[in-house]
């Protein structure tokens, strides 16, 4: 087995693992049961899609996929922070039983 064949096999295996990860994370996103579970599932899907972009860059040799991965990682981070802040405010509102000031 040559180095190119080994790399191709590893990238193919990586694609399969990424697809499985996205599938399981989507199942957790749909099933819940709570908002934090859904937030973690969405973040996990974002990380898996960033990994997909990295694998696509290796397979195609095109560095543009890395730019997409970087932008998606930044947007995913901001979305996770925003959802975590929303969940914390919702928890505090339910704990105090009223509007927060």
In a domain, 71, yes or no: yes
Are 15 and 52 within 8 A, CB to CB?
A: yes
**For the segment 28-65, what is each residue's pLDDT rounded down to a tens digit?**
999 988 888 888 999 999 999 999 999 999 999 999 99
d(CA 95, CA 41): 25
Question: pTM value?
Answer: 0.82
User: How many domains are contained in the chain?
Assistant: 1
Q: Can you give the CATH number for the domain in which 72 is found? A: 1.10.287.3510
Structure-token pair, residue 1: 């087995």
Percent of the chain scoring above 70 in pLDDT = 96
The SS3 call for residue 67 is helix
d(CA 43, CA 29): 10
Structure-token pair, residue 80: 């996770």
Q: With 70 as the cut, is the pLDDT of residue 92 above it?
A: yes
What stretches of the chain adopt beta strand conformation (E)?
A: none
| Residue-number span of the structural domain to which 44 is assigned | 3-96
């Amino acid at each position: 087995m040559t180095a190119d064949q080994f790399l191709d096999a590893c990238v193919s295996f990586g694609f399969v693992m990424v697809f499985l990860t996205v599938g399981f994370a989507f199942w957790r996103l749909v099933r819940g049961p709570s908002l934090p579970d859904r937030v973690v599932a969405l973040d996990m899907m974002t990380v898996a899609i960033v990994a997909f972009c990295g694998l696509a860059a290796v397979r195609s040799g095109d560095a543009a996929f890395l730019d997409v991965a970087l932008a998606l990682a930044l947007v995913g981070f901001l979305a996770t922070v925003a959802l975590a802040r929303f969940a914390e405010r919702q928890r505090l509102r339910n704990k105090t039983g009223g509007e927060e000031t």
